[in-house]
Amino acid sequence: MTQLKFLWPITRGLIGAIIGLLVGLGVGLSVSSLTGNPATEINISFSYVFALLGWLLGVGVWNSWIREWIGIKPSYFEAKNWQRYFGFSMDHKVIGVQYLVTFVILFLLGGFFALLMRIELADSGEGLLGPNYYNTIMSLHGIIMVAVAVAAIIGGLSNYVLPLMIGAEDVAFPRINALSFWIIPPVAILLILTPLFGGFDSGWTAYPPLSVTNADGQLLFLFAFLTFGLSSILGGLNFLTTTICLRAPGMTWGRLPIFVWSIVAASIISVTATQVVAFGLLMVILDRVAGMVFFDAGLGGKPLLYEHVFWFYSHPAVYIMILPAFGALLEMVSHFSRKPLFGYKLVVASFLSITALSFLVWAHHLFTSGMDEFLHIPFMAITELISVPTGVVFLSALGTIWRGKLWLVTPMLFVVGTVFNFLIGGLTGIFLADVATDIHLQDTYFVVAHFHYTMMGGEIFMLFGAIYYWFPKMTGRLYNETLGRLHFITMFLTYNALFITMFIVGTNGMNRRVWTYPENLQDGNILIGVFSLLLGLSFIPFVYNMVASWARGTVSGNNPWGATTLEWATDSPPPEENFAHPPKVDEGPYTYGQSGRKETQATPI
């Protein structure tokens, strides 16, 4: 029995969730009998909110947090080795791994949904899934991948390495950090439950009026997204405060590794813009549950309001996704080219200007929505302006590679692949930012291919590259280089074949979000289906590599890459307090090629 003690927090959380569910159902039933509004959605809402509270209290918030407020001695989760990952641990390294494993699993699940979609689309008529299931699966694929893109690098990798990189012992608020992870399981469960409630056919954007009138599954989606937003806000708050307050002595702002800067920029967006989308989702929930009329044009509402509010978050959100990827890219480019990062200050400036500009471009998603026409040109101009700082990031990457001594191990291969992919993603974006071309390309597979090139080709490629890069730090072991390269080559080739075909199908008139299409597009779609299957298979070496190397890979030593940043100055994996001797920083992060440079930028005090 004592061996199973580590499962106690999750069990307590589940018990809490069930109690909460019942209490919420009771409240919901009494409210709906009072108001006479349609009862199902009110019951779902109250049940979920109370179940979420019950889960969080049970899983650890009560024991390690609230007890302190009311004057009882708090009790913290304690476990060893792999059992640490199953409880309300406050160690940022444990939470980072929890995040990473969760989101890699969700990524594979989302990819599986994509394969299901391709099976339906292999036939221009009705296939395996049928319209309703196809729409639900398509929407699930969308929201799960968006969640992965938002949280995998920030929540997973930066949670693990950011405190190490700045020489801190932990993040600023360890309990909030744990909370932001334990909010995620209810989100995943809600999403997976949606098909039982009629699914949701709105896509991840959930535009009203459809999202106000469709099946109850939509409400589950809305709550899931709202809850996920909360986690994102808490995460951003933590990283901002950590970087402002917990830098090691000598770690000035100008000496921060570029990855930390990218997380700062992304965190600024996630603490601010996420509130706005949370409000947008809340409005849809209120329209559905409380009978309000935000989006009912007949009674004074405006459906366009949602699109503005939604994209006010969701466009900056793509920078929450891509900025950490840029950060990781430049980080690795410098280490694996054995050269200082080219234009460090310019890159920092461009990260910050991307952050600022990202709030001013949202309406380029609304060119065909009936928005006032005088807004088209300003939004087009600002959208194209944002490619300038993005170009600086490219310039920095290429300038660092230029005459460098490239070390083409797996992470660096992913870097080179990302530079290639994002170039295509960026160039095709011009056609979508231009009003004249966008009006024709809107809602075709051209758009789908474009954002997969930026999000998957840019961010997900970098996620995998960064996992390989920091794997030795997290586990103390080396991954298998041959399998890593196999993963990269298969993923890179099938990925490009798949999405270049999508561009072609898209310009030929293939609409997105449809389960049926004209027969003359069938060949292209079958091709896409075959490539996506191959792309899916390319992750098998990755999963095997990670699991097998973690269990019995070669011991890596503290700094297998000979990199200069601070996280490589400590043990692999780092001790609980991160640095046995608190480090003191006395030079910049990328000192390659300088005479008399130290092994890393730090000396122990």
Partner 1 sequence: MSTHSETNTHIGNSLSLKRIGLWVFILSETFLFGALISTRYYLQGVERPDHLNQPLGLVISIVLLMSSLAAYRGEVAVSYNDQKKFRINIISTIILASIFLVGVGWEWYEAFQYFPPSSAFGTIFFTMTGIHAFHVLTGMIALIIIVKMGSDGRFNSNSYWGVEGVVKYWHFVDVAWVFIYPTLYLVN
Task: Using CB under 8 A, list all residues that contact partner 1.
Answer: 69-71, 76-78, 89-91, 168-170, 172-175, 233, 236-238, 240-241, 244-248, 271-276, 278-280, 282-283, 286, 290-294, 299-302, 305, 308-309, 312, 576-577, 582
For the CB of residue 69, give the shortest distance to partner 1 in the complex, in Å. Answer: 5
The DSSP code sequence of 270-337 is HHHHHHHHHHHHHHHHHHHHS---TT-GGGT--HHHHHHHHHHHHHHHHHHHHHHHHHHHHHHHHHHH
CA separation for the pair 603, 554 (Å, rounded):
27
- Give 543's DSSP letter: H
Q: Of 252 and 520, which CB lies nearer to partner 1 in the complex structure? A: 252
CA separation for the pair 56, 61 (Å, rounded):
6
For the CB of residue 79, give the shortest distance to partner 1 in the complex, in Å. Answer: 8
Q: Of 275 and 507, which CB lies nearer to partner 1 in the complex structure? A: 275
Residue 546 half-sphere exposure toward CB, CA atoms < 13 A: 19
Name residue 173's beta-bridge partners: none
Q: Of 173 and 451, which CB lies nearer to partner 1 in the complex structure? A: 173
For the CB of residue 504, give the shortest distance to partner 1 in the complex, in Å. Answer: 40
Q: Of 78 and 481, which CB lies nearer to partner 1 in the complex structure? A: 78
CA separation for the pair 187, 25 (Å, rounded):
19
4 C-beta neighbours (distance < 10 Å), count: 9
User: What Rg value do the Cα atoms of the chain yield, rounded?
Assistant: 24
For the CB of residue 309, give the shortest distance to partner 1 in the complex, in Å. Answer: 6
For the CB of residue 58, give the shortest distance to partner 1 in the complex, in Å. Answer: 19
**CA separation (Å) from 235 to 75, 99, 183, 504?**
23, 11, 11, 39
Among all chains, which residue has been given the structure tokens 């349609």? 38
For the CB of residue 283, give the shortest distance to partner 1 in the complex, in Å. Answer: 7
For the CB of residue 17, give the shortest distance to partner 1 in the complex, in Å. Answer: 21
Q: Of 157 and 309, which CB lies nearer to partner 1 in the complex structure? A: 309
CA separation for the pair 427, 498 (Å, rounded):
18
Rounded (to 5) percent helix, strand, coil in the chain: 75, 0, 25
CA separation for the pair 388, 394 (Å, rounded):
10
Q: Of 4 and 69, which CB lies nearer to partner 1 in the complex structure? A: 69
267: nearest Cα among 388, 180, 198, 346: 180
CA separation for the pair 218, 224 (Å, rounded):
10
Q: Of 280 and 411, which CB lies nearer to partner 1 in the complex structure? A: 280
For the CB of residue 603, give the shortest distance to partner 1 in the complex, in Å. Answer: 17
551: nearest Cα among 480, 601, 451, 464: 480
Q: Of 305 and 349, which CB lies nearer to partner 1 in the complex structure? A: 305
Q: Of 121 and 234, which CB lies nearer to partner 1 in the complex structure? A: 234
For the CB of residue 295, give the shortest distance to partner 1 in the complex, in Å. Answer: 10
Q: For 602, phi and psi rounded to 5 degrees?
A: -120, 155
108: nearest Cα among 417, 547, 517: 547
CA separation for the pair 167, 440 (Å, rounded):
51
Q: Of 175 and 512, which CB lies nearer to partner 1 in the complex structure? A: 175
Q: Of 234 and 419, which CB lies nearer to partner 1 in the complex structure? A: 234
Cβ atoms of 160 and 100 within 8 Å: the answer is yes
Q: Of 267 and 390, which CB lies nearer to partner 1 in the complex structure? A: 267
Cβ atoms of 88 and 177 within 8 Å: the answer is no
CA separation for the pair 92, 162 (Å, rounded):
9
For the CB of residue 190, give the shortest distance to partner 1 in the complex, in Å. Answer: 21
Q: Cis before residue 208, ω within 30 degrees of 0?
A: no
For the CB of residue 66, give the shortest distance to partner 1 in the complex, in Å. Answer: 9
For the CB of residue 279, give the shortest distance to partner 1 in the complex, in Å. Answer: 4
Q: Of 201 and 287, which CB lies nearer to partner 1 in the complex structure? A: 287
For the CB of residue 500, give the shortest distance to partner 1 in the complex, in Å. Answer: 39
Q: Of 300 and 596, which CB lies nearer to partner 1 in the complex structure? A: 300
For the CB of residue 272, give the shortest distance to partner 1 in the complex, in Å. Answer: 5
Query: Chain centroid to CA 280: how far?
Result: 20
CA separation for the pair 360, 290 (Å, rounded):
32
